[in-house]
Structure 1
Amino acid sequence: MKKKERASEIYARLAKRYPSPKPALTWATPWELLVATALSAQCTDERVNKVTPVFFERWPEIEDAANAEVTDIEEVVRSTGFFRNKAKNIKAAALRVMTEYDGTVPQTMAELITLGGVARKTASIVLSNAFGVNEGIAVDTHVKRLAFRMGLTTKTDPIPIEKDLMPLYPREQWGDINHYLVFYGREVCPARKPKCDICELNDICPKKGVK
Structure 2
Amino acid sequence: MNKDKRREILVRLQEQRPNPETELEFSSPYELLVAVALSAQATDVSVNKATRVLFPVANTPQAMLNLGVEGVKQYIKTIGLFNTKAVNVIKAAQMLVDNHHGEVPEDREALEALPGVGRKTANVVLNTAFGWPTIAVDTHIYRVSNRTKFAVGKTVDNVEQKLLKVVPTEFKVDVHHWLILHGRYTCLARKPRCGSCIIEDLCEFKDKTE
Q: Could you say which TM-score interval applies, normalised by the shorter chain?
A: over 0.9
Aligned to 1:35: 34
Deviation of residue 208 (structure 1)? Answer: 4.2
2:198 aligns to what?
Answer: 200
1:178 is aligned, of 176, 187, 190, to 176
CA contact (8 A) 2:60 2:102 kept: no
Change (3 A) 1:6 1:110: farther
Query: How many residue pairs get matched?
Result: 209
**Other-structure match for 2:160:** 162
User: Partner of 1:146 in structure 2?
Assistant: 144
Q: Which residue of 2 aligns with 1:69?
A: 68
Native 8 Å contact 1:196 1:209 kept in 2: no
Larger displacement relative to structure 2 (13-22 or 36-45): 36-45
Offset of 1:23 from its aligned partner?
0.8
- Per the TM alignment, residue 172 of structure 1 is displaced from its structure 2 partner at its CA by 4.6
Judge conservation of contact 1:150–1:207 (CA < 8 Å) in 2.
yes
- Percent identical pairs in the alignment equals 38
- 5 Å-filtered alignment, 1:86-165, equals 86-134=85-133, 136-165=134-163
* Matched letter for residue 142 of structure 2: K
Residues 56-88 of structure 1: per-residue CA shift (max 9 Å, x gap): 122232112134321221221111111011111
Amino acid at match of 2:29: P
- 1:139 and 1:60 mapped to 2: Cα distance? 26
State whether residues 149 and 210 of structure 1, in contact with CA within 8 Å, keep that contact through their aligned partners in structure 2: no
Q: Structure 1 segments of 4 or more deviating over 4 A?
A: none
1:1-40 alpha-carbon deviations (Å, 9 max, x no partner): 51x3332222111001111101111110000011111111
**Is 2:195 the partner of 1:189?**
no
What is the one-letter code of the residue matched to 1:202?
E
Task: Give how far 1:209 is off.
Answer: 2.8
Deviates more, 1:20-29 or 1:164-173: 164-173
User: 1:210, CA displacement in angstroms?
Assistant: 6.4
Q: Distance in 2 between matches of 1:131 and 1:18?
A: 20
Q: Where does structure 1 lack aligned partners over 5 or more consecutive residues? A: none
Counterpart of 2:47? 48
Distance (whole Å) between structure 1 residues aligned to residue 99 and residue 171 of structure 2:
31
Counterparts of 2:132 and 2:202, CA distance in 1: 30
1-side partners of 2:42 and 2:208: how far apart? 24
**Could you tell me the TM-score, scaled by structure 1's length?**
0.92
> CA RMSD of the aligned region, Å?
1.7
Gap regions ≥5 residues in structure 2: none
TM-score relative to the length of structure 2: 0.93
